[in-house]
Amino acid sequence: MKTRIPLMADPVWPEVMKIAIEDNQEPLVPVSLAPAPLQVYPAYYKMGIPYAVPECHTRTGIYRRLLKAAKQLPAGMSLLVLDSWRPYGVQQYLYDTLYNALETRLPKKSAAELEQLTREFVSLPSTRADAPSPHLTGGSVDVTLLDQQGLMLDMGTQFDEASAWSHTHAFEEIATPNARETEVIKNRRLLYGIMTAAGFTNLPSEWWHFDYGNQLWAWYSGAERAIYGATQPDSLENRWRREVEKYSAN
């Protein structure tokens, strides 16, 4: 992909949260069932993050778009999903951890300033029906690329690195990139290109974060409304409860 990654403004969260949601009720599905070249590595579970789950779930529409994106990769490469639907407890843990780290390092910053800095990389934890955290909708995915040996390509920063270099466009600003920076630019353009071609939008502060169907996607795509609200994987208990209710109704 030779096309430059465009410079995009950060979302105006108060306006994003005003976008109407009309959930289309697509279920969550496990991405680990996907065929190659789509792979899964539930990063937060592997890191031992509290409340993280050992699977990456997405809405059905996201799943199909991930497959479409992965099929655009050069032969031998894979698209790796690191995180997708995220329990509220994980969102709260990530937010608090980054906020506390910033507060320790920047003691003169006000609470409002610390919140703004934190939200650059972690959305505000929310279960509000009209404004859920993006990952809580099953419409956000964190992804990267693997080479033919299953190693992650150099994207310039680590996944979830709270750095200015994590901004998707950051390396495009280098006037004379060296060999490593040129490789990073190529890799980011490839990831950005296949994901946006599949209908996803990107969060400008995170090269790994892409959305479809939720409020953040609606904000960047210009859609009138979001089609994914807060959701969660179905459970055996919930399925049995529905079955019992149907039986009782008859």
| Pairwise CA distance, residues 235 & 130, whole Å | 24
Per residue in 115-131, is it b (16+ CB within 10 Å) or e — as a string? eebbbbbbbebbeeeeb
Residue numbers belonging to the annotated binding site for Zn(2+): 135, 142, 209
Q: Tell me if 62 sits within 8 A of 212, measured CB to CB.
A: yes
Of 47, 210, 78, 89, which Cα lies nearest the Cα of 139?
A: 210
Q: In sequence order, what DSSP letters do the residues of 11-38 get, joined into one string?
A: P-HHHHTTS-B----PPEEEGGGPPTTE
Q: Answer yes or no: 113 catalytic.
A: no
206, 237, 243, 245: the active-site residue: 206
Residue 71 DSSP symbol: T
Reduce the DSSP state of residue 201 to 3 states and report it. Answer: strand
Residue numbers belonging to the annotated binding site: 135, 142, 209
| Pairwise CA distance, residues 128 & 138, whole Å | 15
Residue 121 DSSP symbol: T
Residues labelled catalytic = 206
